[in-house]
Amino acid sequence: MRNKRIICLCYDFPPLLVAGAIKIEKLLKILQKTWRIDALTSVKDGQGNSELSVHFVRKGKPEYLYKLIYKLRLYKLISLFVWPDDVIFWMLPAVLKARMLIKQHKPSAIVVFIMPYGAGIVGIILKWITGLPLVLNFDDSYTCTDMNPGFVTWFHYKMSIWLEDLYVRQADAVVYVSQRNLEAVKNRQPANQHSKFYLVRCGAEPEEFTYSNVDNNDSSQLFKITYIGAMVAWFEFEPNQKSYPWLRKLLAAWNQLGSYELVKLDMRSHSPVFIGKAVKQAIAQNPELQGKIKVEIYGSTYPKSLTDRVLESQGIADLVEVHGTVSHAEAIQIACQSDLLFLTLPDRPDGSPGGRISAKTYEYLMTDKPILAAVPQGENWDYLEDKPGVWLAKPTDVSAMAKVVSELASAKFTAKEVKIDRHYLRPELSYENRAQEFNHVIEQVLEKASQ
């Protein structure tokens, strides 16, 4: 009988507040009911238990040099020479630590959560050394143009394809969260590799979304639109661009030199600017809503001075409020207290479908709140299109968003507040279900390996 133990490589890990780490926490909490798990991570203070042993492996990254490069805004140097990412500084100590644990505990399989992308290389090396079956979980495809619309050079683009294809050939199973990304990578492979592909989406935990405990004291006075997560497009609207224009142009030329662009993304939509303008338009069309609508952004990691300047320059400072990071539990509380949940991604002006799907999608669907998804055509749009209580709009379509805001805000203030019953989706969206799907992948791999 095989050993019911696996070794997991998780560069990101709780208590880190990123989508990948949250997913790992939820999956491993359930998988440990079936497996004893050794988890290797670069994050300090990871919490384990009798069935989940967490092993910290130091990154080894030259932090001082990185800080200097970022201070000088010479990020391109890192993109050029640190490939595929800074996991390369973690690889050797991670391989040595994992090999020692494998010798001690004799696990049945190696599971790697790939994000950053270089983590898969550690898994491949360990498979070569030990011969153990390898499962690679991709949170996002390396060649997804939503995540990587361009590369620092044509050579780096070709290397990204080569690396992802190498992962497929060397792994016993590859897991994706996006059907479009899965199909795009699968179609590049020979037919004998197609059986390795599995779809296991992100999810949420139903028990965390209890509406009865989240009464909102302001519910009758204000219509709250909430976005949870980091928005990254603040510098696209930075009004203070007049200082040292020659230096900015020089840096821009340096960053563009030799670059290889696959698709042009409009990053501006990954900001509160368009939803803020939509609220402004809705109020202009419905004056009775004046002072009754607020957009709140939670999870910003940008300086308040910058976000305030952008909101002021766009004329939406009185409508939009930006907050810093909050815990995952707090984020869920906030979502359940909102009147409208907002989701947005960078736009794709050429109309081509994207492969990215936001991890927030599943958490939003666990609530009984209306969802306004300003996303481009592609995976996220396709997934939400038939879900109840979801309004879809293009990321920069202010008029379409204003129409939704007007309709829902007016409904609230005329005692017709919209609540959406999505309870039938909960079993599918639950991490209990996702963990069962993931466990099925591991079992399939081990069954094939034993034949």
| CA angle in degrees (0–180, nearest 5) for 394-339-383 | 40
Mean pLDDT confidence for 124-151: 95
Asked if pLDDT for residue 3 goes beyond 80, the answer is no
Q: List, for residues 20-44, the tens digit of each pLDDT value.
A: 888 999 999 999 999 999 999 999 8
For the chain, the structural domain boundaries read 5-203+430-450, 206-426
Q: What is the domain class of 206-426 according to CATH?
A: alpha beta
Q: What is the pLDDT of residue 215?
A: 47
Measured CA distances, 241 to 73, 91, 279, 310, 320 (Å):
15, 40, 27, 12, 22
Q: What pTM, to 2 d.p., does this model score?
A: 0.91
Q: List, for residues 184-241, the tens digit of each pLDDT value.
A: 999 999 999 999 999 999 999 998 887 534 445 455 689 999 999 989 999 888 766 5
Q: What is the pLDDT of residue 418?
A: 82
Q: What is the pLDDT of residue 214?
A: 46
Q: List, for residues 165-185, the tens digit of each pLDDT value.
A: 999 999 999 999 999 999 999
CA distance 82 to 248: 24
Q: List, for residues 430-451, the tens digit of each pLDDT value.
A: 999 999 999 999 999 999 998 8
Domain 5-203+430-450: CATH architecture, name and number where available:
3-Layer(aba) Sandwich (3.40)
Q: Do domains 5-203+430-450 and 206-426 have the same CATH topology?
A: yes
Q: What is the pLDDT of residue 278?
A: 98
Q: List, for residues 366-385, the tens digit of each pLDDT value.
A: 999 999 999 999 999 999 99
Asked if pLDDT for residue 1 goes beyond 50, the answer is no
Mean pLDDT confidence for 129-141: 95
Q: What is the pLDDT of residue 328?
A: 86
Measured CA distances, 381 to 183, 361, 374, 390, 416 (Å):
17, 10, 9, 10, 27
